[in-house]
Copies of this chain bind each other. A is one copy, B any other.
């Protein structure tokens, strides 16, 4: 997750994704970290409305950590409505608006809608307000829909780039097919049942020899518990070979007690 990659990331082919529109952004650092967060999730269309410190801004460049493709194509606007002119769906990120009747979506709900809108050919924009004040009411009213993240209600002030990251991450995941859990076994495939049973029998035979199962009636339940434990490890073929070696080495020491202590030091 903190891994780096040699290349300096062109966005992937395909849809450009929603435009990220920062209205009255104050700090160049936040514009840079926004660009980095966008590119982390494959977004490249960044638009700025009245950036306080002008543009270009060297602080943004250093904070972007190489997301140059986003900064190089930034577009500047004087008015929010101009920045969003081509957007057929426009979302406003804000705390829940108390005085406006507007649909309120979670970032996850919005991501699904945005993907559907894009699939239907509609370009999408997402408005983010200034660090201190957020979007003003007129900008919220310009949007058709509000996005509000479910935050800790007693500490809900989110950094600008973090807000962009949340939305961008959900947008990416809405089309991501990475399984929620997977085991990569590299060059060695998972051991098959035959290989596992061979291992189990090797271990159980060695334990019989060592008189590990002292109470005969308990042997079957202990064997099942051992097999379950080893099953849970999802052993690869290579690991099964390693375990055969371990059992042989340990049972060799068992038989020849002296070796066990000699190697201890």
Contacts and interface: CB of A to CB of B under 8 A. Distances in A.
Contact of A128 (B2, B8, B96): B2
Interface string A117-156: 0000000000011111111000000000001111111111
Interface stretch (A45-53, A81-89, A179-187, A202-210): A179-187
Nearest to A11: B152
A180 B3 contact: no
Interface stretch (A100-108, A212-220, A251-259): A100-108
Copies of this chain, complex-wide, total 2
Given A96-B184, A104-B181, A180-B109, A154 B1 contact: no
Interface residues of A, number: 82
Interface string A88-103: 0000011111110111
A262 interface: no
Contacts of A166: 1, 165, 169
A178 interface: yes
A159 interface: yes
A211 interface: no
Interface stretch (A35-43, A71-79, A193-201, A223-231): A35-43
Contact of A3 (B42, B104, B157, B184): B157
Interface in A1-19: 1-5, 7-12
A27 interface: no
A157 B150 CA distance: 26
A155 B39 contact: yes
A57 interface: no
A260 B105 CA distance: 40
B157 A2 contact: yes
Contact of A162 (B95, B129, B165, B182): B165
A247 interface: no
B5 A129 contact: no
Interface of A: 1-5, 7-12, 33, 36-37, 39-42, 65-67, 93-99, 101-106, 108-109, 112-113, 128-135, 147-163, 165-166, 169, 172-173, 176, 178-186, 188, 234, 236, 239
